[in-house]
Structure formats: C-alpha cells, structure tokens
C-alpha cells in the first residue's frame, strides 16, 4: 500500500524512458570504474556504523520494503543520527585483558551522523538509491592505557563510504499481500580511512526482502550477504558478513501516520588466526555479532503526503561492534511523482510528421501522414474530428447522432437523447420495460414504479445503479436470520428488484455478490458465514430466472469494513451484502 501520495510532475514518456536508461548506464559505468581499484592495504579503522539507512518513501529506517510505487517518483531524505558508545573497549580488547577492570572508557563514545539519501522508483518495479553519510562529530578515548593500539584518529567532520542501491521487485501476489524483491549495494571507498568512515575499498552486498500484510500490520524481513574487505582494530577482525533485519509497521489515519520497529543483526563469516596462532571464527562471536532494536514513527506533514518527518530510538542488545548503547534518529523527506504529460499540440505533431516525410518519403495518398503511421494509407485524411491526424477521413454519419454509420444499427434515425448509453444508434421507448417511457423515466435502465416526483419517477424503491460506477447500491440492508444464511422474508422485495434489473439489462454479463460481516467472533467463522450468505442470495436470483453463469458469490468476512466496528451502528453497517457489476 502507498502510504504517502505526492504531486505529479509532467514529463514526456519518451524522455522519461531515456532518462531511466541513462541512469542505469551511468550506474553501471560508475561500478565498473570503481571495481578495479579495490585496495589491498589493511586499514587503520573500518566502517563502524551498523545502521543501513533504507531511504525510500515507504521504507523503515533500517528495513527496506519490496513495495515500490506503481507511479514513477523521485525522492530525497535527510536523516540525523546520534549514537552513544558504538564501540566498546571490551569489543576490541583481548578477552583476558586485566586493564579492562580499571579502564572503562569507550574508544568511540559519541557519533553524530548525517544520512543523505536520493533516489527514484521506476514503474512499480525498480528502485535506485544513492546514500551519502557523513560523520559530523565524533569523540572517544585513546585506549592505549589498556594496551590496545591501532584504533586510528577520531576526526570530524569526515565522509563515510557512499552506497549505491539497486532493487527490483521479483514477485507480487494478486492481492499485494505477499511481495519479494532482490537488491544489490555497491560501496564506494569515499570514507575517511582512519576515522571509522570507510572500509578502504569498493565492495558489494546482495540482499533480499520479503513482505506480508496481516490485516493492516506490515511485516518485513531483510537478509543479505555483505562482502566486506578485511579490517582489524585491536583484537576485532571483520570481513564478510551475514545480515538480517526484521520490521513491523502499523499505518494509521489512511497511512498518514506510521509507527513500528525493527531489529538489526549481523555476524561474521570469516575465520582467522590471532596473534597467538589460534584459529578463530567470527561467526556468532560476541564481538562480531552486533544486535540492536529500533522503534520508529513517521507522519505526513502536508495534505498530499509528499513531505514527511519521523524519529527513532533504540539500544544495543549485546556488545557487538557498531551497536550503540543508545541510538536516536530524526529524518525528513520529500517525494514527487512523475507522469506522462499530455500529447503535443496537433500543429506541433503535424509539423513533426511533415518533417519526417521530407526525410523518409512514403505518403501514397498525399495527406501529409507517412504510410507507416497512416491508418488509411490510400484514402486522404480530411482533417476533421474525432481524429484529424490518424490518416482517415471522418466516418459517415447520416443521422448526425455521433455514431458512424458502420456502428449505427439505425443509421437514418438519430439516437434519442434520453440519457441511455447503449450506443446502438437507435431510439428507445421503454428500455427497462417498466411501463414508463424513457423520456420521463428518471431511471431508464432500472425497472421501477411511477411517481409524481420526476426525480424518482420510474425508479426502484430499494436499489440504485450508481452512475459512473460498477456498484448497485442497496438502500435497505438485506436481512438474514441471526448467525445463519437464511434470508428473511422482509428482504425478498429487495432481491426481486435485483431480479428485474438483471432481466432488463442483459448487458450485465457478470454480477458479483459480496458478503461482509463485522469483526465479532472468529475470522474463519465470519468468512464462512459471509460466503454462505452471498451464496443464498445467488440461489434466490437463480431460482427467480437469472442464469447462474451471470452470477458469482464471494465472502470477505470482516476484512472490508465501511464503518468502525467499535459501535453497534458501525457493526450494523458492516453486516451487509453488496452487488458489483464485473
């Protein structure tokens, strides 16, 4: 579900596609350029921060969602993070270091990080993101009194390694409740080598994200392999890692507010020999397995939801590197949707066509439109509406009722203007055969009864066919026996009007009968009850002469409420049967 809706910026389709291809080509060029320059020298420090800021408009802070907006949109986000003690002395010191008893200061005690993100979502399938983190401020204590050396210098402000993300949607269920996406991240060695800003070489990670929706709760799981260069600080050795993050988010007020939380975990996949010639594995080791949780919330700041802001708070759950005692975050972001602009003006289009003919030739009927785009290459265009540039003359319409003679069943008799949209070209006297002429029938397609009020003359009592919609509105609820699917006799008159409507409108080829309940009771029981009630209504219609092939029954239980279930009045509205023309 799209939690924030943005304004639309017109952009021609051809230009949009060209821009997309250029963006992909540029990203591929940058990656190809950077990959050969992987540095082999061991770094004094490493990329310390374990928060991988997701950045897209619907992502969490630390968890990225496979959901991508169906409409192409550009976005930008700025985040500010504060961490306390992201690197503890006992994490980089030897396990039996006696100095730990008297020296408790942290090598890195504070960090203030700016997370700048820009990106684009293209056509509901692909997302490109660029992340540019910067350490604005950091402080800590030199652990040399505890016999730990080689921890670099804490300078600020300093750049951190930039990250380029490419994500693609791999699977989406029809009801959009299950999604799966894959992604790849490219780390550019732009960070400070001696101040915990970078790993010193280009590297990558492969990621997967899956999402499901339970009622309104969004559950997301991220997993990946991070192929990191080797880094050493004291007794801490890092390299390739396995990463995992899970998140849950609850949208409220039509998605304008969202609260949730996530847990982040990673562990090493490397083995090494320490200074004592002892083989050690980083997999699930305490120092190489940071674990932390993060609670977050965000809200839209404007009516369209383009501008949003949020905040987060979390703590470490173990002593792994990069997981701080406390993490605080604040973000603000903006996105704008791009859509195709309107077609160019006819004169511009014709000028382009004439220039093309001059270049390429090929216009057999000499109407100024090339044969390869001329729908009638042997008959000249007459420059008349409805389309003055398709290459075909305006179709003949002897009765001037707006329908070409080739589609008009009564080409010499104008279609009457009684509001009926059958578009057959013939006048109608009483389409719904309710005894009321169409010229005075307020509901010419719905059999009804006469009335002195011209607004309701010829209209049914209990139903309305909503103009411009596929819904048949029921003005009085269909009643069933409590907890059962048997229809009460008082509702037969409502269903009889549905029968007359279907008889009078054979063009309604498929009518969906949908049952709904309130949220009281077990979900499975409510879904079964709504299904059997919809089938009871379907049986009534079939028993009264409506072909079964024109009908289908569906039960949705409490999943589609139209009113809050906290009040009796709301629950009563939710216990209903709806009719939709497919």
pLDDT digits (tens, 9 = 90+) for 290-336: 999 999 999 999 887 889 999 999 999 988 999 999 999 999 999 99
Whether residue 78 has pLDDT greater than 90: yes
d(CA 306, CA 77): 11
Name the nearest CA neighbour of 369 among 341, 402, 397, 346: 346
Longest dimension (CA), the chain: 106
Alpha-carbon distance values, 276 to 53, 144, 235, 286, 353 (Å)? 38, 20, 11, 19, 79
On average, the pLDDT of the chain sits at 81
Peptide bond into 328 cis (omega under 30): no
d(CA 550, CA 501): 13
Whether residue 408 has pLDDT greater than 80: no
d(CA 369, CA 392): 10
Tokens of 201: 């070489």
pLDDT of residue 4: 40
Peptide bond into 157 cis (omega under 30): yes
Whether residue 1 has pLDDT greater than 50: no
Whether residue 42 has pLDDT greater than 50: no
pLDDT of residue 276: 63
pLDDT digits (tens, 9 = 90+) for 465-522: 776 677 788 878 888 888 888 999 888 988 998 888 888 888 888 889 999 999 888 8
Tokens of 262: 């996530």
Coil, strand or helix: which one is 357?
helix
d(CA 90, CA 97): 9
- Find the length of the chain: 582
Eight-state DSSP code of residue 344? P
pLDDT of residue 279: 74
**Is the separation of the CB atoms in 231 and 239 below 8 Å?**
yes
Cα 348 to chain center, whole Å? 36
Domains recognised in the chain with CATH numbers: 8-339 (2.40.160.40), 463-581 (3.30.1330.60)
Tokens of 430: 């009483």
pLDDT band (50, 70, 90) for residue 220: very high
Of the candidate ranges 93-97, 102-106, 273-277, 279-283, the one whose mean pLDDT is the lowest: 273-277
pLDDT of residue 127: 95
């Amino acid at each position: 579900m799209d939690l924030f809706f943005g304004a639309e910026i017109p952009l021609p389709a051809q230009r949009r596609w060209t821009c997309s291809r250029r963006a992909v080509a540029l990203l591929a060029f940058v990656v190809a350029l950077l990959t050969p320059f992987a540095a082999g020298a061991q770094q004094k420090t490493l990329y310390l921060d374990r928060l991988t800021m997701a950045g897209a408009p619907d992502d969490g802070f630390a968890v990225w969602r496979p959901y991508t907006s169906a409409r192409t949109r550009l976005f930008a986000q700025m985040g500010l993070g504060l961490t306390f003690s992201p690197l503890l002395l006992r994490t980089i010191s030897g396990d039996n270091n006696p100095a730990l008893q008297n020296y408790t200061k942290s090598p890195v005690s504070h960090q203030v990080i700016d997370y700048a993100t820009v990106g684009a979502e293209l056509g509901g399938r692909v997302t490109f993101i660029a992340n540019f983190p910067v350490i604005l401020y950091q402080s800590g204590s030199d652990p040399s009194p505890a016999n730990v050396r080689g921890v670099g210098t804490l300078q600020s402000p300093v750049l951190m390694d930039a990250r380029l993300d490419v994500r693609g949607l791999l699977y989406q269920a029809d009801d959009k409740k299950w999604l799966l996406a894959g992604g790849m991240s490219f780390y550019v060695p732009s960070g400070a080598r001696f101040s915990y800003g970078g790993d010193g070489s280009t590297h990558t990670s492969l990621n997967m994200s899956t999402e499901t929706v339970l009622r309104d709760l969004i559950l997301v799981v991220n997993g990946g392999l991070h192929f990191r260069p080797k880094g050493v600080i004291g007794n801490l050795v890092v390299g390739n890692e396995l990463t995992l993050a899970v998140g849950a988010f609850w949208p409220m007020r039509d998605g304008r507010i969202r609260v949730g939380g996530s847990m982040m975990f990673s562990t090493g996949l490397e083995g090494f020999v320490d200074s004592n010639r002892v083989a050690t594995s980083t997999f699930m080791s305490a120092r190489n397995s940071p674990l932390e949780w993060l609670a977050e919330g965000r809200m839209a700041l404007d009516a369209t939801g383009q501008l949003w802001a949020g905040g987060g708070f979390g703590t470490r759950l173990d002593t792994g590197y990069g997981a701080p005692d406390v993490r605080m975050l604040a973000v603000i972001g903006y996105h704008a949707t791009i859509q195709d602009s309107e077609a160019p003006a006819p004169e511009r289009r014709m000028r382009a066509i004439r220039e093309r003919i001059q270049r390429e030739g090929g216009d057999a009927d000499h109407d100024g439109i090339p044969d390869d785009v001329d729908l009638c290459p042997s008959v000249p265009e007459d420059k008349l509406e409805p389309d003055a540039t398709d290459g075909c003359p305006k179709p003949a319409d002897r009765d001037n009722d707006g329908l070409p003679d080739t589609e008009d069943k009564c080409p010499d008799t104008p279609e009457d203007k009684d509001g009926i949209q059958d578009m057959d070209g013939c006048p109608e006297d009483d389409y719904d055969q309710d005894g009321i002429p169409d010229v005075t029938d307020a509901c010419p397609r719905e059999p009804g009864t006469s009335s002195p009020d011209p607004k309701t003359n010829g209209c049914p009592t209990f139903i309305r066919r909503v103009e411009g919609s596929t819904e048949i509105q029921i003005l009085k609820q269909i009643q069933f026996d409590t907890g059962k699917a048997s229809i009460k006799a008082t509702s037969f008159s409502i269903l009889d009007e549905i029968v007359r409507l279907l008889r009078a409108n054979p063009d309604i080829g498929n009518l969906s009968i949908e049952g709904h309940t309130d949220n009281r009771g077990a979900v499975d029981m409510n879904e079964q009850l709504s299904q059997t009630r919809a089938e009871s209504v379907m049986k009534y219609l079939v028993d009264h002469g409506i072909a079964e092939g024109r009908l289908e029954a569906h039960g949705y239980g409490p999943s589609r409420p139209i009113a809050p279930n906290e009040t009796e009045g709301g629950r009563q509205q939710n216990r209903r049967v709806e009719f939709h023309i497919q």
